[in-house]
């Protein structure tokens, strides 16, 4: 587990300022949800934290360690995307164990870890299937399982449920809440679904056009939105 701290983080793409000086402290074990309109920089911010994209300015610390100069693989962060790409010719078990195989873990080590994850995510009965024999929700669970394989301290999820139908999203949301309780990992969860944000988050970060508008508990934001924009996103009607 690890805290995450961003100070004055900026990102420029070809002259366009996309992230405009973000300060943010996320506590060890916290589940923080990013919300904001399409194009406001949610995915970019996750990619900067995970190291898939380089920052243009500022600093990122994980725990005590400054990491913004480190490669993605040196940061011990797992990412789950909306469009999860499983290996179609591999079984569920092999998909989950693949990162461990790449890391050179022993066969028994891989089996042990894969079973542990399969138990947590209730995937054991599906272990011998291939992705095309799974439902959308099951596939997304496998993608999450694969992200967990290396015991990441930090898990970043970028709209992981947005391709699923509404009923399935509710099930998966509950599963994610349970997973967060069990793993006690630090998580950032991006969504444009207000209900998802309100039910999952310890704290919500409202982003707009590359800046943080407000950070607070769901109740804080609901009752005391700092402006009309936040109110429009999650605030109480007034
Ligand atoms: P969100 O996830 O909130 O919808 P993004 O982080 O994907 O927003 O994008 C924020 C802004 O940065 C958008 O205007 C987008 O077009 C721009 N952007 C994102 N990635 C790149 C890139 N690799 N090159 C140029 N512009 C980008
Ligand atoms: Mg996005």
pTM, 2 dp:
0.91
Identify the residue whose C-alpha is closest to ligand 1 atom 27.
Answer: 13
CA distances from 1 to 58, 61, 68, 123, 202 (A): 23, 13, 18, 24, 16
Choose which residue among 44, 50, 208 to substitute to test ligand 1 binding: the one with the highest number of ligand atoms within 8 A of its C-beta.
44
Q: Which residue has the tokens 């920052």?
A: 55
37 Cα nearest atom in ligand 1 = 3
Structure confidence by residue, pLDDT tens digits, 44-102: 999 999 999 999 999 999 999 999 999 998 898 998 887 778 999 999 999 999 999 99
ipTM score above 0.90: yes
At 6, give phi and psi (nearest 5°).
-115, 130
Q: Is the alpha carbon torsion for 175, 152, 220, 191 positive or negative?
A: negative
237 and 228 in contact (C-beta within 8 Å)?
Answer: no
């Amino acid at each position: 587990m690890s805290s995450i701290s961003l100070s004055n983080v900026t990102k420029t793409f070809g002259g366009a300022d996309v992230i405009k000086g973000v300060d943010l402290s996320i506590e060890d074990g916290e589940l923080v949800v990013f919300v904001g309109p399409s194009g406001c920089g949610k995915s970019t911010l996750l990619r900067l934290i995970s190291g898939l994209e380089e920052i243009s300015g500022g600093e990122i610390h994980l725990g005590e360690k400054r990491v913004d100069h480190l490669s993605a693989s040196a940061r011990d962060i797992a990412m789950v995307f909306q469009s999860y790409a499983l290996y179609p010719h591999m079984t569920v078990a092999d998909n989950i164990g693949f990162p461990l195989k790449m890391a050179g873990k022993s066969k028994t080590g891989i089996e042990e870890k894969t079973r542990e994850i399969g138990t947590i995510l209730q995937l054991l009965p599906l272990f011998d299937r291939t992705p095309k024999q799974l439902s959308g929700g099951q596939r997304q669970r496998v993608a999450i399982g694969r992200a967990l394989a290396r015991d990441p301290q930090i898990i970043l999820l970028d709209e992981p449920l947005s391709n699923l139908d509404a009923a399935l999203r509710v099930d998966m949301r509950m599963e994610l809440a349970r997973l967060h309780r069990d793993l006690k990992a630090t998580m950032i969860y991006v969504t444009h679904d207000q209900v998802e944000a309100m039910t999952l988050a310890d704290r919500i970060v409202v982003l707009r056009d590359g800046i943080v508008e407000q950070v607070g508990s769901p109740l804080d934001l609901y009752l005391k939105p700092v402006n009309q924009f936040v109110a429009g996103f999650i605030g109480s009607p007034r």
